[in-house]
Structure 1
Amino acid sequence: MEHITLLIGIVIITALVFDFTNGFHDTANAMATTISTGALRPKTAVAMSAVLNLVGAFLSVEVAKTISGGIVDESGIQPEVIFAGLVGAIVWNLLTWLVGLPSSSSHALYGGLIGATLFSAGSSAVHVDVVMMKVLIPAVAAPLVAGLAAMAATRLTYRLTEKRDERDTAKGYRAGQIASAALVSLAHGTNDAQKTMGVMTLALITGGVLDPDAGPPFWVITSAGVAIALGTYLGGWRIIRTMGKGLTDIQPPQGFSAQTGAATVILASSHLGFGLSTTQVCSGAIMGSGLGRKGGVVRWSTATRMFIAWGLTLPAAGLVAGAAALLAGQGDWGVTAVAVLALAAGFAIWKKSRRQPVDHTNVNTPDIPAQRTSGSEGLQDEPAGVVTAAVQAVSPPPAGPAAAQVSGQATDRSEPAGTSEPADKPADKPADKPANKPADKAAAV
């Protein structure tokens, strides 16, 4: 094996950085509902997910082969092109993490590689048929399949337990949520960790270190698995909070059905070599679970924003990567400039995130601004980030203490300042008037 050059080393390190961002960006896919329902404590949940992502990285290499020898022509590109593609994917991941948007890390990577290749080597270096069959078609089909599977599983689950008291089944379903979340984490490792393996292998092939069509070496598999596990343990708390609000009000039976359906689709796609988006699959499964529960409501306004973000991911990451590729193609100074700009962008995004930090201590707290959500009664205020409360709700919404609390909050919002002690005022007024009136009469006399 030939000596790894400095440029290839930079590409490999950048690929591991992307893998790290992929880990904390996609933690919500497996653990958002589990954390929000209280089935697991936040740090315990992300620790379990990190371990299973690491294990999943060793189970298959089919997706890695798709990326290293399928999407682009490795003979027509140079390592700096792969570097530019990774920069585009990382920047998009960090931007969407900053705003708590559950976009696709997978499509950010695909868009980055395709954009950098188009700008540097032309359209002939992109295998359009592979992109269509193993990226674009699964991107459309997988969320639909996962959604239909979760909807059917949710309806079956509620039918089987319709005569049982909800409190009797809640504990079992919470345990099922933990098991299904573990399965999603394992499936995530078999799919997303391999994408970084494929990029690292592609860099080694373009640099002449590995033969064409070679599979990822063991050290590549290990390092990619460790990087995504560390990112998962860090926890993408902003995106967990967003998915915690969710596309629907998820109860434990729905969470179990959605996660099981999503894990099945992801594992099947990994076996077939389809590099689909786990974010899109899990989101589709959540929407399906919302449609599967009688009286369940899907927040289509939130879903629409996510659909728009998914559509922008490929071109946005591609444009950033294309610009980086043009600059990196100028020589060593261009590669250095791209690296410096990427570090500056990452630091600026991190500094901005510190103004309103979100971590395991406040991921479930409703202290972020309310959203305007379209419901059956029109636009109404929806408290942000409270799946913990929503999990305990049934449809139609209960008219008990929860409704009274909401009514009380509405009264508080409409009450003008300075009226926090209304009981004192009636007492004060009668006390003042009798005392003053006799004095006024005496003065008149």
Structure 2
Amino acid sequence: MLLESALLAVVAAALVFAFTNGLHDAAHTIVTSVASRALTPQVAIALAVLMNLLGAFLGEGVARTIGQDIISPVHGGDGLAVLFAALCGAVVWNVFAWYRGMPSSASHALVGGMVGAALVSSSSVDWRGLATSFLVPMVVAPLLGWLLGYLIMLAILWLFRNTAPRSVNRGFKLAQSVSAATLALGNGLQDAQKTMGIVVLALVTVGHQSDYTVPKWAVACAAVAVSLGTATGGWRIVRTLGRRVSRIDPARGFAAEAAVSLITGFTSLVWHAPISSTHTTTSAIVGAGTARRLAEVRWPVFVDIVKFWLLTVPASGAVAACVYGLLRLTGL
């Protein structure tokens, strides 16, 4: 009975994490279309909620990676304590980043929490899996975001070099209706699955299932929780990404959205790697901005954002380790 209660606590914490994930990551999902005025904030949020919900049902490869390749918790109550502490670390960081208005990574916060809790417990970290499934994508995805954002914007500038700016803006405002939808779809493919992976890992830990197949109820709950978080908007971070990093017009918004959509689609459906869609979007915005000239980007702001990124894993890991220690001290 006590083990079942602990399992319910972990599932509840996972859904809270999914909500804060949606709250935090809603910003990068809607920022390019709102900043360019291609969509109104209300329409952008409604579209993001719908496509996030749909994306959550289109795969489970990332969920399996989170469940299998990061840590190997012991079975029973101690394993659940590790997962609960990891989720607490991630939630605390997500709320802190949202409060500061900084575009951080809920995915990195979750993995940081898992590693931090595992290191102070009897669980073990799969260092090989962590390197191949997390560290490599963590570095590659933002770099690809910058490169693709730059190249797509460069192609747009060349193809429409003789077209009136007003006509270009009008055309890409229409195109952003599609690219914003695919961006939100990719976000649903990525972010909802991370919650699913934790829920499955909890079920395996207590012996409710032996494989890492995601139950339909876990898919539905994660999808709804992320979508509810997305519906709240995350306007603090929207202001940072939409106004402080680089000016976003419809063409740049389309370039960034197209770049991120390609990357999240590939990493979710082919590579099955958990990436930070927030980092990737931020980098794509910078890449699209630098296609015109380097001065288009406010580099001091971007450097501050990168510093915040680097704090995510150690900070969430430290919080998770402290929570695990408190759970052990209190005998929970």
TM-score by length of 1: 0.72
Q: Which runs of 4+ in 1 moved over 6 A?
A: none
Considering only aligned residues, what root-mean-square deviation do their CA atoms show, in Å?
Answer: 1.6
Q: Tell me what 1:26 maps to.
A: 25
Matches within 5 A, 1:38-437: 38-75=37-74, 78-121=79-122, 125-211=124-210, 213-271=211-269, 272-294=271-293, 297-330=296-329, 333=330, 335=332
Contact 1:27–1:232 at 8 Å: present in 2 too? yes
SS at match of 1:275: coil
**How many residues are aligned here?**
329
SS at match of 2:297: coil
Query: Greater relative contact order: 1 or 2 (C-alpha under 8 angstroms, separation 6 or more)?
Result: 2
TM-score by length of 2: 0.96
Deviations 1:246-290 (A, max 9, x none): 421122111101110011011101121110100111011111101
Contact 1:12–1:200 at 8 Å: present in 2 too? yes
Greater Cα shift, 289-298 or 127-136? 289-298
Residues 118 and 175 of structure 1: is their aligned pair in 2 closer, same or farther, counting only changes over 3 Å? Answer: same
Contact 1:68–1:74 at 8 Å: present in 2 too? no
Equivalents in 2 of 1:179, 1:41: separation in Å?
14
Contact 1:174–1:252 at 8 Å: present in 2 too? yes
- CA shift at 1:37, angstroms? 2.1
Equivalents in 2 of 1:5, 1:295: separation in Å?
56
**Structure 2 unaligned regions, length at least 5:** none
SS at match of 1:48: helix
Equivalents in 2 of 1:294, 1:10: separation in Å?
50
Q: Which has the higher helix share?
A: 2
**Larger Rg over CA atoms:** 1
Greater Cα shift, 70-79 or 248-257? 70-79
Contact 2:32–2:256 at 8 Å: present in 1 too? no
SS at match of 2:245: coil
- CA shift at 1:295, angstroms? 6.8
Residues 320 and 172 of structure 1: is their aligned pair in 2 closer, same or farther, counting only changes over 3 Å? Answer: same
**Structure 1 unaligned regions, length at least 5:** 336-445
- CA shift at 1:179, angstroms? 1.3
Percent of counterpart pairs with the same letter? 38
Equivalents in 1 of 2:84, 2:305: separation in Å?
28
Counterpart amino acid of 2:315?
A
Q: Tell me what 1:10 maps to.
A: 9
Equivalents in 2 of 1:246, 1:252: separation in Å?
17
Counterpart amino acid of 1:98?
Y
SS at match of 2:170: helix
